Amino acid sequence: MKMFMFIFLNILNIKVFGFFLKNNIISRQSVNFLFLQSFPEKCIPTVLNNVHSLNNLVKNIKENDIIELNNYYDKLKPNIEYLSYSELDKVRLSLVIAYYAHYNQKRLSSEKFIIHPYNVAIILSELKCDSDTIIGGILHDTVEDTCVTLNEIERLFGENVRNIVYGVTKVTKCGNENENAYETNLVSMFLSMRNDWRIILVKLADRLHNMRTLEFMEEKKQKKISEETLEIYSPLAHRVGMWNIRNELEDLSFKNLNPMKYKEVVDNRTKIIRNYSENIDILKEKLKNILSKIVPGKYDLEYRTKSIYSAWKKAERNNCEISDLKDLIAIRVIINEDWVFNLAEPSSICFIILSKIHKEWKYVPGTVKDYINFPKQNGYQSLHTTILTENNLPLEIQIRTKKMHNIAENGTAAHWKYKSEKLNKKSVSWLNILDERDKFVSKKSLITSALKLPTIK
């Protein structure tokens, strides 16, 4: 009896769901409501039947597909638990659509194509992006490479997802050979970024995964993509303050364009880090003593090394060796400000800690930088100083609150949560440069000049 009821309810569910889809009165609410009750296995045929461009795939559905789809979802889910139930269901639905849309496509690595949009979604989930961005990431290649249309995407996921997917889709396809087509695509991408900066997040995640899997491409193309990454995408990540992504993009491009130099820098850097390691342990203990008197239990100590590419670039710029860099290694003091600071500005505690540090160690004149009162153009805030360790080795110390730290690490993604329209518009206002009607300057050079931020470091 139970079994019978179960089957009956499921048939009913498919019928009802099909009804909504067929009659085109599907709204986002009705999707949520139905999906909350049973998703995804039983609904897959209905979904495919009702997304016109995927109609012919119903016959392909296999048991294994469903296992694979569930595996993908299960791995993504722990990363996106901050989303609501209905948002989670929509993410799951988008995974089904992308999976079948890219059904027979392979990557150059001979893996299934879905691996790519799926990993883009993983990167976005690590940045704690909202559901529209994650769905946009999952669907980002469907319109360009499959039969799925923008209207279908809008019908299922709403206007925002449509715009995100549209923003990352190439307007003309023959971008590789033809410079004009390349520029048209680039300009259209930057213009849509102005309307919704989440497009930047998807595009950066897309590029990052492509860079991570570059080895399968022919060499000439590898070089071209690496050059483009250094010219457009890493400055873009820098522009919006996404340091982690910027560093990884740069290091991967550098490795590809100049493998010999890359290895040399890596070796040098490792050697220097080894020299420091003993000193750093002693220093950390002392620092902990100081901190536990001022902010007991409310701080984190982190250790970071300058990325390979930026170390190399800085040494080149200053015409010195990697070993001469004073900020190759840095210790970060991150203060959790969510407690007793009713009496003072949270940032003032950073200055108190700075003065204690200066009492304990000698510091290098001219290295103190107050990015708290004078934030960098992309919003970065922190206090910097360089001290001398026991063996007279210079070591940078950065002091910041947790909130400043989150923004410093993830840039736009970190404050994307606050969803402020004003912030959104302001952050991409530099793109207004594209409105200039200068016929003599190419739009591409306008973009690259808009991406440039003064280097203060």
143 close to 169: Cβ distance less than 8 angstroms: yes
Q: Is 251 a catalytic residue?
A: no
What's phi and psi for 148, nearest 5 deg? -60, 135
What's phi and psi for 366, nearest 5 deg? 85, 0
CB-based burial label for 279 (10 Å; 0-12, 13-18, 19+): middle
Q: Where are the alpha helices (DSSP H) in 105-171?
A: 115-126, 131-139, 142-145, 150-157, 159-168
The nearer residue to Mn ion, 94 or 386, going by C-beta atoms, is 94
In the bound complex, what is the minimum distance in angstroms from residue 116's beta carbon to Mn ion?
Answer: 6
In the bound complex, what is the minimum distance in angstroms from residue 82's beta carbon to Mn ion?
Answer: 24
The nearer residue to Mn ion, 206 or 327, going by C-beta atoms, is 206
The nearer residue to Mn ion, 89 or 141, going by C-beta atoms, is 141
End-to-end CA distance of the chain: 72
Q: Is 345 a catalytic residue?
A: no
Determine, following the binding rule CB under 5 A, whether residue 132 of this chain makes contact with Mn ion.
no
Span near Mn ion by CB under 5 A; candidates 123-131, 140-148, 226-234, 302-310: 140-148
Site string for Mn ion, 159-198 (x = CB under 5 A): ----------------------------------------
- Read out DSSP for 163-213? HHHHHHS-SSS-TTT-HHHHHHHHHHHHHHHHH-THHHHHHHHHHHHHHHT
- Read out DSSP for 314-372? HHHHTT--GGG-TTSEEEEEEE--SSSTTSS-TTHHHHHHHHHHHHHS-B-TT--EETT
Determine, following the binding rule CB under 5 A, whether residue 141 of this chain makes contact with Mn ion.
yes
Ranges within 193-212 binding Mn ion (CB under 5 A): 206
Identify the residue whose tokens are 């491409």. 217
Determine, following the binding rule CB under 5 A, whether residue 101 of this chain makes contact with Mn ion.
no
Active-site choice (65, 68, 126, 145): 145
Ranges within 323-352 binding Mn ion (CB under 5 A): none
In the bound complex, what is the minimum distance in angstroms from residue 141's beta carbon to Mn ion?
Answer: 5
In the bound complex, what is the minimum distance in angstroms from residue 237's beta carbon to Mn ion?
Answer: 16
In the bound complex, what is the minimum distance in angstroms from residue 300's beta carbon to Mn ion?
Answer: 35
Instruction: Report which secondary-structure segment, H or E, holds 299.
Output: strand 299-305
Number of residues that bind Mn ion (CB under 5 A): 2
Span near Mn ion by CB under 5 A; candidates 97-105, 133-141, 315-323, 397-405: 133-141
What's phi and psi for 337, nearest 5 deg? -90, 0
In the bound complex, what is the minimum distance in angstroms from residue 174's beta carbon to Mn ion?
Answer: 17
The nearer residue to Mn ion, 203 or 405, going by C-beta atoms, is 203
The nearer residue to Mn ion, 132 or 141, going by C-beta atoms, is 141
The nearer residue to Mn ion, 89 or 206, going by C-beta atoms, is 206
Q: What residues contact 277, with CB distance under 8 A and at least 6 apart?
A: none
Instruction: Please report, for residues 24, 87, 158, 399, the alpha-carbon distance to residue 33 in angstroms, rounded to integers and kept in the order given.
Output: 16, 11, 16, 47
Closest-approach residue to Mn ion (CB): 206
> Among all residues, which ones are annotated catalytic?
144-145
Residues that bind Mn ion (CB under 5 A): 141, 206
